[in-house]
Structure 1
Amino acid sequence: MSSQEFLPAATTIIAREADGLEVLMVKRHHEIDFMAGAMVFPGGKVHEGDNDPAWAQNAMRWNDVPAEERGLRIAAIRECFEECGIILGDPGRAVPGPEMTRARQAIDRREMEFLDYVREKEIVVDLSTLTAFARWMTPSIAPKRFDTHFFLVADPAGQDALSDGRETVETEWIAPGRALDLAARGERQIVFPTRMNLKLLAQSATLADAVAAATARELRAVRPRIVTRDGTRFVQLDDIDGYGAVEEKVAVP
Structure 2
Amino acid sequence: MNTPAPPHGIPAATIIIYRNCPAGGLPQVLMTVRSKGMAFAGGMAVFPGGRVDPADFALAEAVVRSGETTLADDEAAHQIAAVRETLEETGLALGLAGDISAESAAAARAMLAESGTLAPVLEAFGWSLDFSQITPFARWFPKNENIPRVYDTRFYLADLGTGAVDVSIDHAENTHLFWTSAKGALEAADRGEIKLIFPTRRNLERLALFGSFAEAKAQAEAIPVRTIMPQVVEQDGKPWLMILEDAGYPVTGELLDSVARG
CA shift, 1:150, in A, is 0.3
CA shift, 1:130, in A, is 0.5
CA shift, 1:80, in A, is 0.4
CA shift, 1:252, in A, is 8.2
Residue equivalent to 1:160:
166
CA RMSD of aligned residues (A): 2.9
CA contact (8 A) 2:31 2:179 kept: yes
Structure 1 spans left out of the alignment, 5+ residues:
none
Structure 2 spans left out of the alignment, 5+ residues:
1-6
CA contact (8 A) 1:237 1:247 kept: no
CA shift, 1:38, in A, is 1.1
CA contact (8 A) 2:91 2:168 kept: yes
Amino acid across the alignment from 1:39: A
Aligned partner of residue 63 in structure 1, secondary structure: coil
After superposition, where does 1:226-241 map in structure 2 within 5 Å?
A: 226=232, 234-241=240-247
Deviation digits for residues 168-213 of structure 1 (CA, Å, limit 9, x no counterpart): 1211110000100111121111111011111111101011111111
In the comparison of the two structures, how many residue pairs are matched? 244
What is the distance in 2 between the residues matched to 1:13 and 1:55?
26
1:44 alignment partner, one of 43, 50, 55: 50
What is the distance in 2 between the residues matched to 1:47 and 1:106?
15
What is the distance in 1 between the residues matched to 2:188 and 2:202?
14
Aligned partner of residue 44 in structure 1, secondary structure: strand
What is the distance in 2 between the residues matched to 1:46 and 1:252?
21
Residue equivalent to 1:184:
190
1:117 alignment partner, one of 89, 114, 121: 121
What is the distance in 1 between the residues matched to 2:97 and 2:105?
17
1:35 alignment partner, one of 38, 41, 53: 41
Residue equivalent to 1:21:
27
What is the distance in 1 between the residues matched to 2:213 and 2:8?
34
Residue equivalent to 1:146:
151
Residue equivalent to 2:255:
248
Residue equivalent to 1:105:
113
Residue 10 (str. 1) matches residue 13 (str. 2) = yes
1:76 alignment partner, one of 74, 82, 107: 82
Amino acid across the alignment from 1:38: M
Aligned partner of residue 210 in structure 2, secondary structure: coil
What is the distance in 2 between the residues matched to 1:33 and 1:23?
24
Q: 1:139 to 1:156 in 2, by over 3 A?
A: same
